[in-house]
Amino acid sequence: MSAAKIKKGDTVVVLAGKDKGRSGAVLQVFPKEDKVLVDGINVHARHRKPDQLNPQGGIDRKPAPLHISNVAVAGKDGKATRVRFEVRDGKKVRVAVKSGEVI
């Protein structure tokens, strides 16, 4: 398995789907499914009936996973950029293709 180009905590831009153009922080990465969970993106609502723990009931909103191909790491300017790996000072680092800066 190759190294992940998108990691937890990265700011990403959505490239496709209903939230195209929006950005958010990666909450979780699912490498086996090639999916990521992004804060405030692809939010789904679940209607809950009242029960003892939640007597009011209501609507639970939480983000659903997106396919990793539909997001790209955001550069310093907030626009999407691809990521490549380079060896700098003996360490393998992620580098933004557009700017050449270390992520």
* pTM check: above 0.85: no
Q: Which of 6, 35, 5, 39 is nearest to 25 (CA)?
A: 39
Q: What would the pLDDT profile of 48-101 be if each residue is shown by its tens digit?
A: 999 999 899 999 999 999 999 999 999 888 899 999 999 999 999 999 999 888
Residues 6+ apart with CB under 8 A from 55: none
Q: What's the confidence (pLDDT) of residue 1?
A: 38
Q: What's the confidence (pLDDT) of residue 99?
A: 86
